[in-house]
Amino acid sequence: MSESTARPVPTSTYRLQVHAGFGFDAAAEQAGYLARLGVSHAYLSPILQPAPGSTHGYDVVDHSRLNEAAGGRAAFDRLSAGLQGHGLGTVVDVVPNHMAVPTPAYLNAQLWSVLRDGPGSPYATWFDVDWSVPDRAVLMPVLGQRIGQVLDAGELSLDPTGGPDGDELVLRYYDHQFPLRPGTADLPLAELVDRQWYRLAHWRVADEELNYRRFFDVDTLAAVRVERPEVFEATHRLLLDLVASGAVDGLRIDHPDGLADPAGYLSQLADATGDAWVVVEKILEGDERLPRDWRTAGTTGYDVLQRIGGVFVDPAGAAPLSALLGELTGDATGLDAVVEQAKREVVAGGQYAEVHRLVELLAGICHDDVHLRDHTRRGLHDAVTELLVAMDRYRAYVVPTDTDTGADPLPESVAVLDAAVGRARAHLPEHEHDTLDVVRDLVLGLGPAPTRSDPRRAELVVRFQQTCGPVMAKGIEDTAFYRWFRLVGLNEVGGDPEHFGVATEELHAFLGRLQRTWPTSMTTLSTHDTKRSEDVRARLAVLSERPAEWASTVRTLHERSAGLRQAPLDGATEYLVWQTLVGTWSASDGPIGAERLHGYVEKAVREAKTHTSWTSPDEVYESALHDFVDGVLGDETVLEPLAAWAAATHDGFRVGVLGQKLLQLLAPGVPDVYQGTELVDQSLVDPDNRRPVDYLDRVQRLQRLDSGAAPQDLDDEKLLVTSRALRLRRDNPAWFVGPEASYAPLGTSTGNALAFGRGPGESVQVVAVATRLTESLAAYGGWRAHTVSVPEGRWRDELTGREVDGGAVALSELLDPLPVALLIRT
């Protein structure tokens, strides 16, 4: 990590999703509110020109322009001026890994050039295309049926009014346009189609024969070779200019694991920005640590999300909730087995083309080395498959070894691969163990020095690393987590649902290490990628505290909805519906709206790919599911147990909502507030979490609180906690931000309270106290004589105005009426 004071570091950020419906000018209108809330920086979703209709911005088509649908450069400049006028800075999201393959394709000028001129295009090196395929053509899997059927049906035609200027002769397929290879315009249509630098194909061909690297399994997002200096310069020029001018202070890097060399990219970015504050969207699995040689401030905070949320989950609920899951599904399969099966499906399906490319590289390398020639293509395929399935993280950070020095990969990287090899070996016949060892050495870049200069070996090292991430993401987050639902709030990005509950000692150790090693890392509770917002997870966490009552409620729900279920509906999906309804239940509005719930459950079952999928929808199954949802939402006798549960567990929900927020905002790192979550926000996975935010309501609530009015509901209470903590960070950055700030765990006489102190150096100037696990607290008779050890001095609670003396402070006095306290030394 590079420490530098040359560039500003946020005290906190507020995420804004910028798109046509909420452009730069709309964001500028909230500058005053964000300043009053207490954040130091607005954090914008990708601002470069995306594909038409994009609501997220991760599908960039032009790196030289700012999003015109959001207002373009002029509106961005107004936003920047408006933010700076209120003392705020700007952080923006950067997408270095991929570009969109838009419709029509000419919207991506670099791609259009490659499709027209093939390897001769000046942009041929931008995209990771395998030109060794027999027809030396980029696969374009856009056809609704096979190419022969499309030709016979007359669905392809030549159009002289195509291209970016409307005057180019193009090959048209409905809304799709494709350029013509020079010299082919006068050929018969079938021959013309065959002679292009692209191959038009049925969309189902993609998973098996795609020859350009993509983002996970998304054909419309083509990987960009940002490791090439000319590509880095062209794709980052505008963003770097904004950083240099002071219009942008920091960057959030999307999916660095997809890059050929993440550490090298971050080093280049740090040099180009003067070590600006840069955080990376990096999922750390288990006890994995962020590589220390990365020039970054840290991650975007999925690791913090899991630990802070985990302290509100009761580990005693794990066994009874496991039993309930088995009772409802008739399946006792554990998560590990579900994950393994899902990863195998991804390797055999969505990542087949990538795996095939790895095997072809291995086969070529082995064929040309007489010592390795007897390792068959089948054996190599088996070894690669098992190794990818056995990997337990997104990559091992191996880069091609230095052929001049003969430097070997880092010991940590070797240890990760060797652990995976050990797991993979158990799934291979003995005669393929030697082949696995060969694959292990080759993906680590090992071997005699003369052979390391073979460019295929370097390519293999990089491609294996780039394939591990998609197998992990698609297998775990986007498949297994939609199949296994013991406590669905733990099925989160970067999460481990088997890690059921976090002890206070574990959280303190983690936050203390964060302060020592990555003190300006971003922290979060909700993002545009989380599968459920922080407050949905807070509601679901209470299930762990009352598993017996929850099981009884579910059985009642099952009985009362019997007449609503059609035969195709399975127990796992039904249980997901119940947990989703509970997690999104609103004290004021009751169940989630029908449109939102229908959209979510359809996405969930298609991601699970057990009964239906995006590529092969089962209309009978999905119809049964939608009918069930309609029936449940329209039947008060079914909704009544859910309403009763929500009312009975409101105290636990409130404790989680306020406790999570206070801990995140005062913990080490730079906290991000996802748009709208300063009030209770019970959103589900995207696009549900990109719904419009009612800022007028938030402005009015904050004005009331600032005028001295008491909170009227949980929304007000969360806004009070958020605004007071953010303002405290902004006004006293030395207490919270950077390596000189302190983190001090504070003792409590009960595990139902958690407390820590922050301040400059070794001093403590602010104390956070939170309640946890209210059900066990009630069972023990409440706070009784329990205390929290507050450093000596006089302290004022910023949330209530109450003053207390340091020492052993009674929790019953301190945590009333709110279940959290924010103490400032007076």
Q: How far is CA 205 from CA 99, 177, 210, 353, 609, in A?
A: 21, 19, 7, 10, 19
Rounded to a whole number, what is the largest CA-CA distance in the chain? 91
- Residue 479 in any domain: the answer is no
pTM of the predicted protein model: 0.96
Statement to judge: residues 379 and 457 lie in one domain: yes
| Domain stop point among 179, 204, 223 | 223
SS3 of residue 161 by DSSP: strand
Q: Are 110 and 125 in contact (CB under 8 A)?
A: no
- Residue 482 in any domain: the answer is no
Q: Are 471 and 346 in contact (CB under 8 A)?
A: yes
Statement to judge: residues 721 and 811 lie in one domain: yes
Token pair of 264 as six digits: 């090298």
Q: Are 679 and 50 in contact (CB under 8 A)?
A: no
Q: Are 298 and 290 in contact (CB under 8 A)?
A: yes
Place of tokens 């790196």: 63
- Residue 625 in any domain: the answer is yes
Statement to judge: residues 571 and 504 lie in one domain: no
Statement to judge: residues 358 and 436 lie in one domain: yes
Statement to judge: residues 214 and 311 lie in one domain: no
pLDDT of residue 449: 62
CATH number assigned to the domain comprising residue 60: 3.20.20.80
Statement to judge: residues 327 and 290 lie in one domain: no
- Residue 113 in any domain: the answer is yes
CA 755, distance to chain mean position in Å, is: 29
pLDDT of residue 310: 98
Q: Are 526 and 43 in contact (CB under 8 A)?
A: no
| Domain stop point among 204, 223, 242 | 223
CATH number assigned to the domain comprising residue 197: 3.30.1590.10
- Residue 67 in any domain: the answer is yes
Place of tokens 């090292």: 461
Statement to judge: residues 643 and 654 lie in one domain: no
- Residue 2 in any domain: the answer is no
* Domain count along the chain: 5
Q: Which residues share a beta bridge with 491?
A: none
Ranges of residues in the chain with a pLDDT under 70 are 1-6, 402-407, 449-452
Statement to judge: residues 58 and 77 lie in one domain: yes
Statement to judge: residues 285 and 147 lie in one domain: no
| Domain stop point among 200, 223, 246 | 223
- Residue 674 in any domain: the answer is no
Q: Which residues share a beta bridge with 797?
A: 823
Angstrom distance (rounded) from CA 290 to CA 273: 21
Token pair of 805 as six digits: 């003396």
Angstrom distance (rounded) from CA 702 to CA 723: 8
Statement to judge: residues 698 and 820 lie in one domain: yes
pLDDT of residue 1: 38
User: Helices marked H in 521-679 — which ranges?
Assistant: 534-541, 547-560, 571-583, 594-608, 619-633, 636-648, 650-666
pLDDT of residue 579: 98
Angstrom distance (rounded) from CA 797 to CA 25: 37
CATH number assigned to the domain comprising residue 599: 1.10.10.470
- Residue 49 in any domain: the answer is yes
Asked if residue 617 has a cis previous peptide bond (ω within 30° of 0), the answer is no
188, with CB counted inside 10 A (0-12, 13-18, 19+), is exposed
pLDDT in tens, 611-626: 999 999 999 999 999 9
pLDDT in tens, 239-274: 999 999 999 999 999 999 999 999 999 999 999 999
Statement to judge: residues 462 and 350 lie in one domain: yes
Torsion of CA 399, 400, 402, 408, to 10 degrees: 70
Statement to judge: residues 130 and 61 lie in one domain: no
Q: How far is CA 87 from CA 405, 486, 609, 722, 728, in A?
A: 50, 46, 48, 19, 15
The domain in which residue 160 lies consists of 105-223
